[in-house]
Every structure is written in structure tokens, then in C-alpha cells.
Structure 1
Amino acid sequence: MPALYILIPIALILVALAIWVFFWAVDSGQYDDLDGPAHSILFDDEDPLHKAGVDEAQKHTSKDKKDA
């Protein structure tokens, strides 16, 4: 029983920390571009134009936002 007096506050602190990290990630834009990495993997990293996939995804994303 005394272990619960330690484990419950630790669990609450961990949950609060996880919630804070999640909201920090959302506020800092970590989830803004979900299509860019998916398109970027199709291009060779050595290719200087490999950013084209990211640009293409951004065009589609901005087009989708305008349609909505």
C-alpha cells in the first residue's frame, strides 16, 4: 500500500509530461506536413532536386486547404 503513495504521483507526472510534449509538438508544427516525407522518400537523397517531392506535396496540401 505505501508503494501506491509513490507510484500514483509518478504516474500522474508522466501523464502530464506526455500531454505537455504532445501539445508542444502540435504547437511547434510537428504535424503540419504529413505528405512531404511520404513524397520525399521517392527521391534520391543525393539528387539536388529531391526537395521536389516536398514542394509537390505542399502544392497539393495548399490546394486541399483552398478547396475546404
Structure 2
Amino acid sequence: MSVVFLVLPLALLVVGGAVLAFVWSARSGQFDDLDTPAVRMLHDEGASSRPQGSREKT
């Protein structure tokens, strides 16, 4: 029975910390744009962004 008195407050602290972290990140704008980072790699930005080894031979 004494383990419950130790684990329950510890679990509540962890859950409270997770909720506070989520609220802070939602208010600071972390979840505002979920689509752009996923499709950013699909857009070709030109030869300047290509790695050194991927140049085409002419």
C-alpha cells in the first residue's frame, strides 16, 4: 500500500508536466503549420541546394 502513495503523486507530476509542455507548445505556435514541413522536400530549389556528389555530368 505504501508504493501507491509514492507512485501516484509521481505519476500526477509527470502527467502535469506533459500537459504544461503541450499547452506551452500550442500557445507558442509549434502546431500552426503542419503541412509545409512535410512537403518542403518535394520542391526543387535549384542547383545550389544539391549535395556535392549529385551534379549531372555534361
Per the normalisation by structure 2, the TM-score is 0.70
In the alignment, structure 2 segments of 5+ residues that lack a partner are 51-58
In the alignment, structure 1 segments of 5+ residues that lack a partner are 48-68
Instruction: Identify the structure with bigger relative contact order (alpha carbons < 8 Å, sequence gap 6+).
Output: 1
Per the normalisation by structure 1, the TM-score is 0.61
Q: Distance in 2 between matches of 1:2 and 1:44?
A: 61
% identical aligned pairs: 40
Q: Distance in 1 between matches of 2:36 and 2:29?
A: 13
- Matched pairs, number: 47
Larger Rg: 2
Match of 1:7 in 2: 7
